[in-house]
Structure 1
């Protein structure tokens, strides 16, 4: 069995040090995902780039967190569900009942967010083969535009990278996320 190093700014490969130093300065710690991805600096850079692009979509911060949480639950990523539960509530202003519903694999009460969550789950579980899926029609009927389906796919790509990396790395939960611990 291969063990991965969870790097600090001092131990990281040269190409990952700046990212870890910035994370340490901004958050007071290096998130486990970053520390693990630092083993492959290109993977860390790609994750950050995709995250940045997703943050620039037309989806609101709340909707972005719905996508990221729904995808992480389907993929069974303990680390990302905890992280995005905290981010959703503390940074994106997502209501606790919405986060709780998503963590349970359920539907938020808001019909538009419910359609978004269900479409995201379909994208993940159907590996993108959703053109004829009822969740795509419900997504459009809820008021989303066709191009926003591509933005959902971008969010799913972000979470696929981090969820799969966390599975491989067996990323330990950061103590800052303990209150949001989740298990598949």
Structure 2
């Protein structure tokens, strides 16, 4: 059971309701994580703004989905791992072999592999990566802007992992358990 209430959409502030309407429009539902964050309209606005800004970046959605899986696994976030796995399976954008590779901090796609490895290392090492890690991203074809966006993608996913772990958000997707925590 969640440590703080998971409010019904109609029981959050008008500001949060407006933001959650956008979530419902995009996802077709309002998952518990968004409703937990909606306890603070400022936090919800910040989270959604960060996510929406990354949608406009140069790193493609598929790479960001792969990174999210790797970060959820690295941080041991069952909620995020369950939600992310459900989303990519439902949309049929990643197959089980790729999901497994991502959870292991890798990818079967050559270019994405560099980003996922970099992201998993960022999550595991709390940002303490070396020059070789950055150079591997560049060799794979990522620009400086892309590298910053992968770091930003890790950061927003770490926020989601932390909020769901700290508050023990009720998992509203088929449960997938992390194999290990950082």
> What TM-score, normalized to structure 1?
0.85
User: Runs of 4+ in structure 1 displaced over 6 angstroms?
Assistant: none
Q: Which runs of 5+ in 1 are unaligned?
A: none
- Measured against aligned partners, the alpha-carbon deviations of 1:14-65 in whole angstroms (never above 9, x if no partner) come to 3212223444466453201011111111111111111111111111221111
3-state SS of the aligned residue for 1:127? Answer: coil
1:153 counterpart residue number: 151
3-state SS of the aligned residue for 1:74? Answer: helix
1:130 counterpart residue number: 129
- Residues 71 and 154 in structure 2, CA contact (< 8 A), matched pair in contact too: yes
Mean Cα deviation higher: 83-92 or 148-157: 83-92
| Structure 1: distance between partners of 2:140 and 2:93 | 21
Provide the aligned C-alpha RMSD in A: 2.2
| Structure 1: distance between partners of 2:81 and 2:94 | 14
2:162 counterpart residue number: 164
- Residues 8 and 30 in structure 1, CA contact (< 8 A), matched pair in contact too: no
1:96 counterpart residue number: 96
1:79 counterpart residue number: 79
CA distance 1:3–1:96, shift in 2 (3 Å): closer
The structure showing larger relative contact order (alpha-carbon pairs under 8 Å, at least 6 residues apart) is 2
> What TM-score, normalized to structure 2?
0.86
Q: Which runs of 5+ in 2 are unaligned?
A: none
| Structure 2: distance between partners of 1:58 and 1:25 | 24
CA distance 1:110–1:26, shift in 2 (3 Å): closer
CA distance 1:29–1:146, shift in 2 (3 Å): closer
- Residues 15 and 41 in structure 2, CA contact (< 8 A), matched pair in contact too: yes
CA displacement at 1:93 relative to structure 2 = 1.6
CA displacement at 1:151 relative to structure 2 = 0.5
Mean Cα deviation higher: 163-172 or 26-35: 26-35
CA displacement at 1:150 relative to structure 2 = 0.1
Mean Cα deviation higher: 2-11 or 85-94: 85-94
3-state SS of the aligned residue for 2:169? Answer: coil
